[in-house]
Amino acid sequence: MSESDFKTPIKKDKPVEDKITIPPSPFLHRLGYGTGVSVLQLVRSPRAGQIRSPWALKMINKRVKHNKVYSERLQTEAELLQRMSHPNIVGFRAFSKSKTLFLGMEACEISLGDMIEKRAEEECEPFTEKQILKVALDIGKALDYLHTKMQLLHGDMKSYNILVNGDFEVCKLCDFGVTLPLDENGVFDKMNAGKAVYYGTEAWSAPEVIHGGEISSKTDIWPLGLTLWEMMALMPPHSQMDESAEDSMCLDDSVQSTEEDFFSERYGTRPPMPANIAERQFAGSLALFHACTQTRPKDRPSALHLATVAEEMMVRSGNP
């Protein structure tokens, strides 16, 4: 099966608001969830003898507070997705503001974050260098399109926002609900951002987010580097506690607070090389990880440069 089989079909129609029948949630397969939203799979009935591909439906959790905020965010994401067309960005399918508000997208097989969790639970080996480089290649291309063609910062790069089809035949970037505008220099465009601020997820956030600094396209590169690290370490960044910290917490009455402080103090720093891998075996992946997690944003590669280097590494290793 070739990568072209997984390319996102180009949709040029306006957002679909036809009468689309959505069955009750218990009859939908849950694919994932996020802050204020759930992602469910809709298996569509055949039409006129034709098999129709399933959709992933992003829907607002009715019990969540600030429902209006999430509804507006979902509509913004729908409008953005419809404007985009790239093989490494999840495809737009429909948007409905009728009785049930939902965003319909192409359904991919699984998120990279879920794959990492499953591998860790089953005590499997880390992902292969080929698989890690493929993520760097595909998501690097997606971010280059987002940063240069759309002039947008993703704003919440992490393994759970990367979808994988097959054995890494293609990887796609998803979840564009907290994007931020970039100017022609790739810097956060505050003039056109309105009240929007950087959202992100702290454990993956770059130093300039944690400690204050200029937000730019390079702010997406740092968490992508941490995602490559996750594929080797099989754990979220900054989630491992060393023995000295564990010993000190045994003497502390407020263990929960101390644990939170331990992890939060490491946000915005580069995690150490995973202890479970052979450095020589993952030389390429480690090189990309270190390049992406340079403290100074200007020292990090652009998304295009990252994708180009990853592809060259795959070719040299005989795994194009």
Coil, helix or strand at residue 168: coil
Q: Are 281 and 129 in contact (CB under 8 A)?
A: yes
- Give the single-character DSSP code of 296: S
Is 220 considered catalytic here?
A: no
Beta strands 29-34 and 180-181, pairing class: unpaired
Q: 171 pairs with which residues across the strands? A: 164
Distance, CA of 171 to CA of 164 (rounded, Å): 5
Distance, CA of 280 to CA of 282 (rounded, Å): 5
Distances from the Cα of 230 to the Cα of 22, 102, 132, 161, 314, angstroms: 36, 31, 10, 13, 19
Q: Could you say which of 138, 156, 175, 189 is catalytic? A: 156
- Using CA atoms of 159, 160, 165, 167 in order, give the dihedral in degrees to the nearest 10: 40
Q: Are 19 and 53 in contact (CB under 8 A)?
A: no
What kind and span of H or E run contains 37?
Answer: strand 37-42
Distance, CA of 294 to CA of 194 (rounded, Å): 30
Which residue is it, tokens 């990309």?
288
Task: Kindly report the backbone phi and psi dihedral angles of residue 77, in degrees, each rounded to the nearest multiple of 5, phi listed first.
Answer: -65, -40
Q: Which residues carry out catalysis?
A: 156
